[in-house]
């Protein structure tokens, strides 16, 4: 079938590789080009075959999955998703480090038929995205708006991100000083198995204190609070975090970026900044628009500089953003608004 996705499976477990290959074939969505059991084999196949996507095990017999990703992406642009078993901290950290090398996402290996089906659907969606390896610092030509010089005091910064978000968050937060004067709240779509590990990894990578959102926790200046997987995180008076794990998915996600943005709009209004970063889909758009309508200054990442342009593009199309910026410009605006220097 001409519309089948050409996939390379890199996996050193024969049992998982065989089952995964059969699931991919039976879905009718994929042409399994090959199954590689070593990093060298994966690098050779990726260099010679035209592939739409690669799934990469983090543990390989001859080299780490990180080295294999580095070798593959040094030759050509390819979509790579890291799959790993139930991760301990060390494994999760290596998997998350893969995102800094150019992998699109990290996910736990499926164990049930429904999980395999959901993974197949997700991988197919990723292959519909433009293939690129952008830098968040890319100075793409923009039809720029004049950046608003707000006199309102800044009370909070809210950030939404999905696929491509971890590395973009690292790029952004590393350009903001540790003594940033207001709290930062983040909704980042992340597999439940990686949620806690992601916070620890991010906290080791950026200057701010990073915490996983906890019910009743107080928002503090210079602290990044990240929504946990499986719960909508909101802010409430008096500057507290609330979690809703029982509520339904919003925009197909839990945590929902829009749920976080909506709560910020209601509590902080003009004294807030909302930022829509890289990601697939439209989560966050409705909430970002609500922030804008409440008087907040709202920013969408420049699509050309985003790893995945779906979320910021939809924000622009819906008129939810006051400005469109690359990450360097977003950081500069936040430093100016927060009246701090690096």
For the chain, 342 residues long, give each residue's pLDDT as a single digit of tens.
Answer: 457 899 999 999 999 999 999 999 998 899 999 999 999 999 999 999 999 999 999 999 999 999 999 999 998 889 999 999 877 878 888 899 999 899 999 999 998 989 998 999 999 999 988 776 544 444 444 444 455 566 679 999 999 999 999 999 999 999 999 999 999 999 999 988 888 899 999 999 999 999 999 999 999 999 999 999 999 999 998 799 999 999 999 999 999 999 999 999 999 999 999 999 999 999 999 999 999 999 999 999 999 999 899 999 999 999 999 999 999 999 999 999 998 876
Residue 189 bears catalytic tag: yes
Residue 283 bears catalytic tag: yes
| Identified catalytic residue from 136, 189, 256, 272 | 189
Based on the domain organization, do 302 and 183 belong to the same domain?
yes
Residue 162 bears catalytic tag: yes
Q: Which two tokens stand for residue 35?
A: 């199954």
Q: Which two tokens stand for residue 51?
A: 């592939």
What is the Cα–Cα distance from 284 to 41, expressed in whole angstroms? 40
Give the model's pLDDT for residue 135: 45
Would 134 be classed as within a structural domain? no
Give the model's pLDDT for residue 148: 59
Residue 83 maps to which CATH number? 3.40.50.2300
Sheet holding 223-226: strands in order across? 209-212, 223-226, 184-188, 156-161, 272-276, 297-301, 323-325
What is the Cα–Cα distance from 245 to 224, expressed in whole angstroms? 20
Give the model's pLDDT for residue 137: 45
Give the model's pLDDT for residue 128: 86
Nearest-CA neighbor of 298 among 307, 287, 308, 309?
Answer: 287
Based on the domain organization, do 249 and 320 belong to the same domain?
yes
Based on the domain organization, do 224 and 319 belong to the same domain?
yes
Say if residues 299 and 270 touch (Cβ distance below 8 Å). Answer: no
Based on the domain organization, do 172 and 288 belong to the same domain?
yes
Say if residues 123 and 7 touch (Cβ distance below 8 Å). Answer: yes
| Identified catalytic residue from 136, 162, 263, 305 | 162
Residue 208 maps to which CATH number? 3.40.50.180
Nearest-CA neighbor of 58 among 20, 22, 107, 14?
Answer: 107
Based on the domain organization, do 174 and 283 belong to the same domain?
yes
Q: Which two tokens stand for residue 171?
A: 């790029």
Give the model's pLDDT for residue 178: 95
Q: How far is CA 132 from the centre of its chain?
A: 16
Based on the domain organization, do 161 and 246 belong to the same domain?
yes
Based on the domain organization, do 222 and 291 belong to the same domain?
yes
Based on the domain organization, do 60 and 209 belong to the same domain?
no
Would 151 be classed as within a structural domain? no
Based on the domain organization, do 97 and 177 belong to the same domain?
no
Based on the domain organization, do 109 and 219 belong to the same domain?
no
Final residue belonging to a domain, choices 109, 127, 145: 127
Domain encompassing residue 230: 156-338
Based on the domain organization, do 205 and 263 belong to the same domain?
yes
Give the model's pLDDT for residue 147: 57
| Identified catalytic residue from 52, 105, 171, 283 | 283
Give the model's pLDDT for residue 138: 44
Instruction: Please give the tally of structural domains in the chain.
Output: 2
Q: Which two tokens stand for residue 214?
A: 């906890």
Based on the domain organization, do 183 and 55 belong to the same domain?
no
């Amino acid at each position: 079938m001409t519309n089948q996705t050409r996939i390379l499976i890199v996996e050193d477990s024969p049992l998982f590789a065989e089952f995964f290959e059969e699931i991919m074939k039976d879905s009718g969505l994929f042409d399994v080009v090959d199954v590689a059991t070593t990093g060298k084999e994966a690098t050779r196949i990726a260099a010679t075959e035209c592939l739409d996507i690669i799934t990469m095990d983090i543990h390989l017999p001859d080299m780490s999955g990180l080295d294999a990703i580095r070798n593959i992406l040094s030759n050509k642009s390819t979509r790579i998703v890291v799959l790993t078993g139930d991760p301990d901290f060390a494994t999760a950290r290596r998997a998350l480090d893969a995102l800094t090398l150019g992998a699109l996402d990290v996910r736990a290996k499926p164990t049930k038929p429904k999980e395999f089906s959901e993974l197949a659907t997700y991988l197919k969606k990723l292959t519909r995205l433009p293939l690129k390896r952008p830098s968040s610092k890319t100075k793409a030509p923009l039809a720029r708006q004049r950046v608003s010089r707000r006199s309102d005091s800044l009370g909070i910064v809210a950030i939404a991100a999905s696929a491509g978000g971890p590395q973009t968050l690292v790029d952004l937060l590393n350009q903001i000083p540790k003594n940033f004067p207001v709290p930062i709240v983040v909704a980042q779509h992340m597999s439940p198995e990686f949620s806690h590990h992601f916070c620890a990894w991010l906290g080791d990578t950026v200057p701010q204190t990073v915490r996983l959102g906890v019910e009743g926790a107080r928002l503090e200046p210079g602290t990044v609070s990240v929504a946990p997987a499986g719960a909508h995180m909101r802010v409430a008076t008096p500057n507290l975090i609330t979690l809703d794990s029982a509520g339904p998915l919003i925009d197909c996600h839990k945590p929902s970026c829009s749920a976080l943005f909506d709560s910020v709009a209601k509590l902080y209004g003009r004294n807030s900044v909302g930022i829509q970063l890289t990601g697939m889909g439209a989560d966050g758009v409705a909430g970002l628009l609500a922030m804008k309508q409440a008087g907040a200054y709202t920013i969408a990442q420049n699509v050309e500089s985003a790893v995945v342009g779906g979320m910021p593009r939809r924000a622009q199309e819906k008129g939810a953003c006051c400005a469109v910026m690359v990450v360097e410009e977003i950081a500069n605006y936040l430093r100016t608004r927060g009246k701090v220097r690096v």
